[in-house]
Amino acid sequence: MKHRLEQSTKALNTLIEKRGNKFYPQFHLAAPAGWLNDPNGLIYHDGLYHAFYQHHPYSQDWGPMHWGHATSTDMIHWQHQPIALAPGDDYDKSGCFSGSAISHEGKLYLFYTGHNWLAAEGDDSQIYEAQCVAISEDGIHFEKKGIVLEPPKGYMHFRDPKVWYQDGKWWMVVGARDEKDQGQVLLFSSETLFEEGQQWNNDYTVLGKTDDKNVYMWECPDFFPISQENEFAIVFSPQGKRAEGYQYRNLFQSGALIGQWSPNQPFKPQGHFIELDNGHDYYAPQSFTTPDGRRVSMGWMDMWNSPMPSKSEFWSGCFTLPREITFDKSKNRLRMIPVKEVESLRQEKQTIQPLTLSNQSIELINNTTAIELDLTLSLDSHAEKFGLWLGKGLELFVDNQSNRLVLNRHYPQHNMSGARSIPLPEGCELNLRIFIDRSSIEVFVNKGEFTFSSRYYAQQDTQTLRFFAMNGDATLINGQYWQLNSIY
């Protein structure tokens, strides 16, 4: 693997020299150049946070998957590390696909999917996928140890292992697709994490399975406790789910099923699958536990098959901000808010005075390259439509006709157009905490009840923010914002 790592590093360095910065984020983690997709191996180990990611260092397009790597002392400021894994061994010739990390007895273990196309590259009808492990003594350099879990009979699509320790055993969930092309998550266990020359037993139970005949795969599973009462969440990304009204409008979704589970009983869902994020660009989130016990998640802030104008700058893809996940038992759903550490990026606070508009707009902020806003709007408004315009092409607004909060983007020059929306929350006020980077926006509604994550691609000379009210009046109750420092 050493030779392949050297080659990939050389290719990455060539791209870094050419990389542009017009769209490159100032406070979101992205690869130094090349392609990035799923977050992998998020973990706190030996005094540092580690974030790995699906990475193609040879170009800005998807290709044979490597594992990129970055470390941080606070989940906010990141330092790029050498590429951790490169494909090419017999068991991962076509790619080192997604997985997770374990800190155990001073060593860092990466569990990942070894992917092999058995026919033509890209032909998913003939593949072999198995779960593999690589181990590091220093948290930077990894030695591959090969396959630790073969696919059970009847499974060809079998990937994205998430490993954890509970009740005296090691557990692993893996996303799968059975012979009937139905998506599911399989659960395995082992008395030992890893022993040289031995594999995990591939006896399994089906932890969860689709009841939608259109869903052919559950990717990137995560499974974690959300209360002290054996309540757990399966977070996964179903493929094939069709749009229903305003829901499931992205090519693929990411969301959660809430239920009861313990090692001695099957998972018992309580409710239905709910999207974790309602924006245009959110996929494959993975969570981990911080030293102080918070459950924190990061997702890929892009979407398969979507236009990616950043490719012209020799890079693609970035992560969301790290988000603390909590369980809203009253609504049986997960909530997400940015981790408190993000406040370390703030410069001097600026106040926005209360104002009421009628059939007009007003500039709030002239430069939105890297800012955080906290706005409270009155929902007791007679305007047909009111909210925010960001540059040319992006708007976040209350639509009083449909009674929804809408994030709409329109960039015909990039063949990109479409709206995502949520029902208006109850109450007479709407709180919006908004993070705007060079090519992304994250919106946290009413302290995490809903979130939107989307990429946008305005010209840098048009990144002003305006408050508007159309066909009636609207009131901004209060507001504040901070310019944010770069994380690099």
List, by residue number, the catalytic residues: 38
Residues 134 and 138: their CA atoms lie apart, in Å, by 12
Residue carrying structure tokens 């594999």: 199
User: How far is the C-alpha of 32 from the C-alpha of 43, rounded, in Å?
Assistant: 20
Burial grade of 454 (CB within 10 A; 0-12, 13-18, 19 or more): buried
Give the H or E element holding residue 5.
Answer: helix 2-18
**Residue 299's closest CA among 276, 316, 315, 328?**
276
Cβ neighbours, 10 Å, residue 165:
11
Task: Determine contact, residues 69/43, Cβ cutoff 8 Å.
Answer: no
From 437, 463, 456, select the one nearest 338 (Cα to Cα). 437
Q: Is the dihedral of CA 223, 225, 226, 231 positive or negative?
A: positive
List, as one string, the DSSP characters of 54-95: EEETT-SS--SBEEEEEEESSSSSEEE----B---STTSTTE
